[in-house]
Structure 1
Amino acid sequence: MFRGVNPINLDTKGRMAIPARYREQIMGCCDGSLVATIDTEERCLLLYPLPEWEEIQKKIEALPSLNPAARRLQRLLIGHATDLEMDGNGRLLLPAPLRDYAQLDKKIVLLGQGRKFEIWSEALWEATRDEYLQVDEGNEIPEEMQTLSL
C-alpha cells in the first residue's frame, strides 16, 4: 500500500526519483515496471505497478465501445498509458506529453493512494488540496462514509 505526500524534484530530463521507502515494495511487486497515465478528472498523472494497471486495463477494455462515455475513458486512459521502468537509482523518466498534461515542472508531489500513486505539480496539488479542505454542498461526505469512525 502506498501512502503519504512526498515532495520530489523533477530533473531537467524529466526524471523523478521514487522515495527510497517505496523502492523495495515496487521492486517486489512489479520488478520496477510501472504504468503512468492521465487522470481524466484532474490535471495529474496516475502511476500504477504493472500488475495493478493490467487489471484496470482489462476492466476498461470490457466497457462497451459504442457508449460515448466509455469510449472517452478508453481513449484517454489507455491511449495515454505509458510503460515506465525504474532505473538502478530508483528514477522514472516521465515522457514530455504526460508532463505537459499534468503541468509538471521542477517541484512535484508524489501522493500515495493505496495501490497507486498520483503525480501532481506541487502548485496544483496545494491549490487542489486547499479546495478539498473547503466543505460546501458540492463535496459533502458520501452517505456510505458517514458511519465510519476515524
Structure 2
Amino acid sequence: AAATAAASKWVRLNVGGTYFVSTRQTLCREPKSFLCRLCCQDGPELGSDKDETGAYLIDRDPTYFGPILNYLRHGKLIINKELAEEGVLEEAEFYNIASLVRLVKERIRDNENRTSQGPVKHVYRVLQCQEEELTQMVSTMSDGWKFEQV
C-alpha cells in the first residue's frame, strides 16, 4: 500500500513527446489550472489520453513547459534567454495559471518600456569657476544635474 501511495504522489506527463515528472502537489499549486484539474481533482478527468507508460498526453510545445513547471515548483519565473517570453505567456494562458500570466505580462511590459526608452545617455558639462561663483552658477542650472568635483 505504501508503494502505491508513493507512486500516486508522482505524475508523469508527456508534453509534445518529452516526458516530465512532478508531484501532484506541485501541479496543484494553482487549483484552477489545467494541470491541477488533469491529475489532482476528484471526479471525472478531463478526458486526456495516456500513453503506453501511463503518462498524460498533452499536445503542446515542450520547450515552453519547463519554465511553467519550474514556476509551479518554486514560484519564480525563470526564462532562458533563447526562449521568447510570448511563448511562455501563451503556454501559461493555455494551462490557466493566472498568477504566471500576470507575471509574464508584467515582464514583457517592463522589457518593452526599457527598450523604448533606449540606452541611458549621459551628458557632461565641464565648469570652471571660482569658489565664490559656484553657488550662483549651480543655482542657475536646471534641475536633475548631478555634480562631481574633479
Whichever of the two has the greater Rg, that structure is 2
Structure richer in helix, relative to its length: 2
TM-score band w.r.t. shorter chain: under 0.3
Structure with greater contact order relative to length (CA < 8 Å, sep ≥ 6): 1
TM-score norm. by structure 1 comes to 0.23
